[in-house]
Homo-oligomer: A and B are copies of this chain.
Amino acid sequence: MSEENIHAALLVIGDEILSGRTKDKNIGYLAEYLTNIGIDLKEVRVVPDEMDDIVAAVNALRARYTYLFTTGGIGPTHDDITADAVAKALGIELYEDQRIIDLMLQRLKPGDMNESRRRMARIPAGAVHVANPVSKVPGFQIENVIVMAGVPSIMQAMLDDVAPRLTTGARMLMETIEAQGIPEGTYAAGLGEIAKAHPRTIIGSYPQFGEGRFRNQIVVRSKDAEALGAAVGAVHAMLAGLAPVTGAH
């Protein structure tokens, strides 16, 4: 299925990200992945392993965007409360899914099954599995909420499973233009004019700083190839008329 303007939010759940102990790798991966399949990531939130915070964020984000992805908090320990929080947010009960118990028993001796591991088999009534080829225990999709693991390799495998079932929109096309030593402050006025004159594009200017000077890139994005090309041409023409300046922003 393909429609215009399909968007999404990501909710990262985990004290370990907020304490700085673990550096998140899922935001950048999901952002790039969704852009490539035609879903616009519009917002990310990171919240701690607290029921009220997760429930509030789930409800705010699922109401606003086509899809809400979550990462983290689906293991067997007491701090893994994502399934409970999503069920509470949606007003749906969790049940123990025997198919998940069976998947777990592919990796586990029957004597090692216990109450904590059974927690991972609880999903909301009506949820669809998101397959986990890495370690078997699946994530799930309920309504427009897609619940995935926090471990990056497992999150990435789950995303590969769920992506083909999602509605996607027109892909955002992107061109990057090197500003070739011309500072932002020199081309800012011209770039602003171009942005106004090309309303079907989104134009950004991104400085990097190194060795005492800025190196800038201008990025033009659009879902319309013709609009993109016209704006890119205008940027090149503008830059050709400007001279590099050292030391300036």
Contact = CB atoms under 8 A, between A and B. Distances in A.
Nearest to A176: B21
Interface in A94-109: 104, 107-109
Contact of A46 (B27, B76, B186, B191): B27
Integer count of this chain's copies in the complex: 2
A19 B221 contact: yes
Interface string A106-133: 0111001011110110000000000000
A35 interface: yes
Indicate the size class of the contact surface on chain A. 35 or more
A185 B112 contact: yes
Main secondary structure of the interface of A (DSSP, over half): mixed
A28 B79 CA distance: 21
A92 interface: no
B203 A79 contact: yes
Interface in A58-102: 75-80
A116 B24 CA distance: 35
Contact of A35 (B12, B19, B27, B204): B19
Contacts of A49: 204
A45 interface: yes
A162 interface: no
Given A43-B45, A43-B53, A16 B185 contact: no
A140 B105 CA distance: 56
Contacts of A167: none
B153 A209 contact: yes
A134 interface: yes
Interface in A20-46: 20-24, 27-35, 40-46
A183 to B, nearest CB: 8
Given A15-B202, A24-B27, A48 B42 contact: yes
A41 B28 contact: no
A114 B185 contact: yes
A141 B140 CA distance: 42
B20 A205 contact: no
Contacts of A199: none
A97 to B, nearest CB: 15
Interface of A: 12, 15-24, 27-35, 40-49, 53, 75-80, 104, 107-109, 112, 114-117, 119-120, 134-137, 151, 153-154, 172, 174, 176, 184-189, 191-192, 195-196, 202-210, 214, 219, 221, 245, 247-249
